[in-house]
Amino acid sequence: MPYRAGRHFLQIPGPTNVPGRVLRAMSRPTIDHRGPEFQALGHEVLQGLREVFNTTHPVVIFPASGSGAWEAALVNCLSPGDRVLMSDSGQFATLWKQMAVGLGLEVDWIPGDWHHGVDPEAVSARLADDRAHAIKAVCVVHNETSTGIVSRIPELRQAIDQAGHPALFMVDSISSLGSIDYRHDEWSVDVTIGASQKGLMLPPGLSFNAISDKARAAHRQASIPRSFWDWTAMLAANEQGLFPYTPSTNLLYGLQEALAMLREEGLSNVFARHQRHAEATREAVRAWGLEMVAASPDDYSASITAVVLPKGHDADDLRRLLLDRFDLSLGVGLGRLAGTVFRIGHLGDLNDLSVLGTLAGVEMGLTLAGIPHNGHGVEAAMRALVAPVG
Ligand SMILES: Cc1ncc(COP(=O)(O)O)c(C=O)c1O
């Protein structure tokens, strides 16, 4: 591909733009991962991650994409044939379910329409029916990257408690961590799954499990075969700031820098920034007269907006046009939303003008593709962005 002047607009819902500070941090020479300099780095990032997950409990780091941390959560806590309760909230929930089935688990699957978050009442009802406590874990995707819909974790926690059920609570925070408020301890989550390439502003390649005491106790009984993902070996090495195998040293340099940046901005400011950008994006979509996948404001994600095109128009044609004409990448429609939906990622390292540039690209693309819309989306977003915060 010949050189294209100007910045590429990577507005897919992850991987997100990696800031220069993180890229420069990662360019430092790799060091001995068993030496004292590494140990200091290990201690610092393992401790720093706890702040992002809002936990005082251990967070482990795998040199893997998010799917690795999904698998680690399941194999460390469960035994073959165990039942898990999952909900059809979108494509990532579906993929996690497929993984659970592949690992020999029995999945109780709550149906969903992909337009709403996970229903706490449905979870509570399924758990109340399970008098023998055969269900060993409730697994939920906090922010469905395929639909731009957020599920309300505190209400789901309450639903589990109301049913008086002892199942573990596992939450995928892959596209919410570092962009939407998340509280592992306060919400009594047992295993939180995270990954590097979204709100943490890093390249793909690191993923995380935050682990409660209850999950550690379950881990001691769990018998799905595991080796690479084993928490025991990982937690023992982490005590010394080390890893049981070769870690992704340079990604950890990046993580150290990203954690410093999140701390400098302040997590509450990071969350507020994401909310402002999400609302500005939604204002643009409303002004265009297009539909969002999220059915109601309660479901809106602060990190992703999934937009439905009018019937007869192909979202992938629009995406191709935007890449060719404006060097703008938007997220593809996934699973049952393929071809009818495009996704705008507004998470990670971005400011007001990056959001407006993205929306300007989309608006011009809609016009060029002959997709009926009302125009004025960028104007509506600008109005939202200059409105007093309050
Ligand atoms: C919510 C969610 N869960 C899981 C995954 C899978 O992660 P990965 O593709 O990094 O393996 C993704 C990827 O985008 C995701 O958004």
What is the pLDDT tens value at each position of the chain, 390 positions in all?
889 999 999 999 999 999 999 999 999 999 999 999 999 999 999 999 999 999 999 999 999 999 999 999 999 999 999 999 999 999 999 999 999 999 999 999 999 999 999 999 999 999 999 999 999 999 999 999 999 999 999 999 999 999 999 999 999 999 999 999 999 999 999 999 999 999 999 999 999 999 999 999 999 999 999 999 999 999 999 999 999 999 999 999 999 999 999 999 999 999 999 999 999 999 999 999 999 999 999 999 999 999 999 999 999 999 999 999 999 999 999 999 999 999 999 999 999 999 999 999 999 999 999 999 999 999 999 999 999 876
pLDDT at residue 370, rounded to an integer: 98
With CA atoms as reference, report the closest residue to 188 among 209, 160, 222, 157: 157
Q: Which residue from 16, 61, 67, 251 has its CB within 8 A of the most atoms of ligand 1, so it is best to mutate? A: 67
The rounded distance, in Å, linking the Cα atoms of 86 and 138 is: 6
The rounded distance, in Å, linking the Cα atoms of 148 and 343 is: 8
What the block records as the tokens of 231 is 């928490």
CA of 382 to the centre of ligand 1 (A): 31
> Nearest C-alpha to atom 5 of ligand 1 is from which residue?
66
Instruction: Kindly list the protein residues whose Cβ atom lies closer than 6 A to any atom of ligand 1.
Output: 14, 65-67, 92, 141, 145, 172, 174-175, 195, 204
Element (H, E) at 329: strand 328-330
Beta bridge partners of 108: 85
CA distance to 134, 284, 383, 384, per residue, from 389 (Å): 48, 18, 12, 9
The rounded distance, in Å, linking the Cα atoms of 183 and 198 is: 17
DSSP string computed for 220-271: HH--S--STT-HHHHHHHHTTT--SS---HHHHHHHHHHHHHHHHH-HHHHH
Helix, strand or coil for residue 189? Answer: coil
The rounded distance, in Å, linking the Cα atoms of 235 and 250 is: 21
pLDDT at residue 1, rounded to an integer: 84
With CA atoms as reference, report the closest residue to 138 among 119, 122, 160: 160
CB 120 within 8 A of CB 82: no
What the block records as the tokens of 23 is 């890229």
What is the pTM (predicted TM-score) of this model? 0.98
Q: Which residue from 175, 193, 334 has its CB within 8 A of the most atoms of ligand 1, so it is best to mutate? A: 175
pLDDT at residue 390, rounded to an integer: 66
